[in-house]
Structure 1
Amino acid sequence: MTPSARLPVSATLLRRLAFASIVANVAIVGTGGLVRLTASGLGCPTWPRCTDDSYTTTAEMGMHGVIEFGNRLLTFAVGAIALAVVVAVLSHRPRRPELVPLAVGVLLGIPAQAVIGGITVLTDLNPWVVGLHFLASMVVIAVAYALWRRIKDPAGPVVPVVPVVPAPLRTLARLTAVVSASVLVVGTWVTGSGPHAGDHGAARNGLDPQTISQLHADGVFLLIGLSVALVFAFRAVGAAHAARAAGILVAVELGQGLIGVVQYLTDLPALLVGAHMVGSCLVLLATLSMLWSTRERRPVQPGRDDDRRPAMASASRSAAPSA
């Protein structure tokens, strides 16, 4: 008997581990922000070693070295959680092979992130590479979220996805998700043009901070407008769960927007910039939650080809104009 058969992992434990992976990946974004905002980006001036002669920080490197090395150590903790998730997925009974690619994707994303982080150090904190480092974290968080949600779905790799809102609203939801992603990308450009370079000698991307900040703000206004439209549209077709998810997205966007405005008006204090970075993760998660709420997976009974029809018919009737 294999160890996984002797020690099967419950669905509850599997969900908790997957959720812990999301939290850990958001946390490392926050600590990465701490590295940059304290000008500790080159606290360890090389990679993978901390110095040419040591893998660890030295007393001569001071607090900047401690902060940078501490962030590197946290990568191992995040990786350990991701590895635990993979083991849990393989140990879960009944086994769910559809979860394996997502769990492995999160696990492989951790060392990939470490390599990108190393490149940022080796390129003296090139702002474009730093931005890529942040966006790669967003990808890992998105995959971790997909795993967590998929665990809650019925088991089976071929369980059909059933839309719960009409096709035009699903298209609007996807458009909102695209705009949300573009806001994150442009946000890295804003950061790369601003004062928090991660080190006093690091270069900036050369973009005009006011111009790129305005572009970022325009994207945020568009995102909020689309999200508010989704709230009313989902309510109009009776999709209460989707409307609630869209409402949470609006609330998160407004909170993130408020932080952004205040930090801009107060000359970008480090504490607010750090909060804005973590807020970006919350916007991503709220966007994914909204997108996920537009569909659901329902187990199909053998010999029943019409299991998908009631939901589709209900969505069509909800979308039809009343007489």
Structure 2
Amino acid sequence: MGVGFEARSARTSTTVTAVRVFGWATLVANVMLVVTGGAVRLTGSGLGCPTWPRCTDESFRPHGALDLHEAIEFGNRMLTFVLVAVAVATFVAAWRTARRDLRRLSVVLALGIPAQAVIGGITVLTDLNPWVVSFHLLCSMAIIGLAVVFIRRIDRPDPVWVGGGLAGLAWATFAAAWAVLYLGTVVTGSGPHAGDVKAPRNGLDPVQVSQLHADSVFLFIGLTIGLLFALVAVGAAYEARKAVAVLLAVSVGQGAIGFVQYFTDLPEILVGFHMLGAALISAAVTWVLLTVVQQDPSGTPPSELRVERL
């Protein structure tokens, strides 16, 4: 009996490690997809492969010597295969836990890959329409948030959603963050760095939409500060206070980059870091929301994961 118990414990520990590793790999891979997608746009390589799903009318890959734009766009497309590999590994690890919640989340995360590929194809076929590009980026942000949900659910299989003033403030902060992310894509669609010199713009005044975006940032940071003070005032758990502090630090850094890039005529390197910051905000604000509005009724320590036998 002792040997059998030890063997089951070893399998459980291995399963826990695997699902955690691949959960984090899913998050990192999707953040990197945002960064590489930004590189495509910032280098004007959005139409390096002018059609979809093929790279050219004759082939799925460029022929002959690659120019810079073809290499960047084709390389970004190839990242899809990395995402598929990570998604399959995540699903297998989740399946071995026999946890329905993790299985469902892993399936949704996996389905996000072909969905994003199709949306990416539509952006190419519409010559980088700024509204489609905006939707493409926002979908990546949503997948990043879902990856955070997956990671947190590993240690908390039966969370209970709670209400109250703190929960309402956390939801308001989450909504404000998504308003910031959306308006950021609108600003991008009105300015330079369209992804190709012939790509259309959304026709909005960059100065006006930038001001609206800045106003939403001030609201978001104000709500984040208010949430942090409220959590400290009520003696909330350290995890929640730390999560909000991290979000505040990321948001202030992101805001600083945004202001600097605006007043320095949007240098590509700063815009690239700004896109990375947007992905980190999506992850951080999701973590904040979950730490504030969810409780574990079982009192199970976060280090323990319930894994059922198949």
Report the TM-score when normalising by structure 2. 0.90
Q: Give, as a single letter, the amino acid of the residue that structure 2 aligns with 1:170.
A: A
Unpaired stretches in structure 2, ≥5 consecutive residues? 1-7, 301-310
Query: What does residue 286 of structure 1 align with?
Result: 284
Q: Output the CA distance in 1 between the equivalents of 2:248 and 2:132.
A: 30
TM-aligned CA deviation for residue 300 of structure 1: 7.6
TM-aligned CA deviation for residue 296 of structure 1: 2.2
Query: What does residue 30 of structure 1 align with?
Result: 35
Q: Output the CA distance in 1 between the equivalents of 2:193 and 2:298.
A: 50
SS in 1 for 2:295: strand
Structure 2 counterparts to residues 46-65 of structure 1, below 5 A? 46-59=51-64, 62-65=67-70
The answer as to whether partners of 1:43 and 1:67 remain within 8 angstroms in 2 is yes
Query: What does residue 160 of structure 2 align with?
Result: 161
Query: What does residue 118 of structure 1 align with?
Result: 121
Query: What does residue 242 of structure 1 align with?
Result: 240
Report the TM-score when normalising by structure 1. 0.86
Q: Output the CA distance in 1 between the equivalents of 2:15 and 2:43.
A: 42
Q: Output the CA distance in 2 between the equivalents of 1:102 and 1:47.
A: 29
Q: Output the CA distance in 2 between the equivalents of 1:105 and 1:25.
A: 14
Unpaired stretches in structure 1, ≥5 consecutive residues? 302-323
TM-aligned CA deviation for residue 160 of structure 1: 4.7
Query: What does residue 44 of structure 1 align with?
Result: 49
SS in 2 for 1:241: helix
TM-aligned CA deviation for residue 100 of structure 1: 1.1
Query: What does residue 168 of structure 2 align with?
Result: 171
The answer as to whether partners of 2:142 and 2:282 remain within 8 angstroms in 1 is no
Q: Give, as a single letter, the amino acid of the residue that structure 2 aligns with 1:211.
A: Q
Q: Output the CA distance in 2 between the equivalents of 1:277 and 1:57.
A: 28
TM-aligned CA deviation for residue 281 of structure 1: 0.7
Query: What does residue 108 of structure 1 align with?
Result: 111
- Cα deviation, 1:265-287, whole Å, max 9, x if unaligned, reads 11001111011011001111111
Query: What does residue 19 of structure 2 align with?
Result: 14
The answer as to whether partners of 1:162 and 1:297 remain within 8 angstroms in 2 is no
TM-aligned CA deviation for residue 299 of structure 1: 2.2
Query: What does residue 318 of structure 1 align with?
Result: none
Q: Output the CA distance in 1 between the equivalents of 2:274 and 2:88.
A: 29
Ranked by relative contact order (alpha carbons within 8 Å, sequence separation 6 or more), the top structure is 2
Structure 2 counterparts to residues 47-196 of structure 1, below 5 A? 47-59=52-64, 62-92=67-97, 95-153=98-156, 155=157, 159-161=158-160, 163=162, 167-196=164-193
TM-aligned CA deviation for residue 20 of structure 1: 0.6
The answer as to whether partners of 1:43 and 1:61 remain within 8 angstroms in 2 is no
Q: Give, as a single letter, the amino acid of the residue that structure 1 aligns with 2:268.
A: A
Query: What does residue 270 of structure 1 align with?
Result: 268
TM-aligned CA deviation for residue 177 of structure 1: 0.3
Q: Output the CA distance in 2 between the equivalents of 1:283 and 1:183.
A: 10
Q: Output the CA distance in 1 between the equivalents of 2:299 and 2:187.
A: 48
The answer as to whether partners of 2:23 and 2:147 remain within 8 angstroms in 1 is yes
Q: Output the CA distance in 1 between the equivalents of 2:17 and 2:159.
A: 23
Q: Output the CA distance in 1 between the equivalents of 2:131 and 2:80.
A: 21
Q: Output the CA distance in 1 between the equivalents of 2:87 and 2:297.
A: 28
The answer as to whether partners of 1:15 and 1:152 remain within 8 angstroms in 2 is no
Runs of 4+ in 1 over 4 A off after TM superposition: none
Q: Output the CA distance in 2 between the equivalents of 1:223 and 1:75.
A: 33
Counterparts in 2 of 1:160 and 1:64: CA distance versus 1, 3 Å: closer
SS in 1 for 2:67: helix
The answer as to whether partners of 1:30 and 1:274 remain within 8 angstroms in 2 is yes
Q: Which has the higher mean CA deviation after the structures are superposed, 29-38 or 59-68?
A: 59-68
- Cα deviation, 1:61-82, whole Å, max 9, x if unaligned, reads 5110010000000011012101
TM-aligned CA deviation for residue 248 of structure 1: 1.1
Q: Give, as a single letter, the amino acid of the residue that structure 2 aligns with 1:116.
A: I
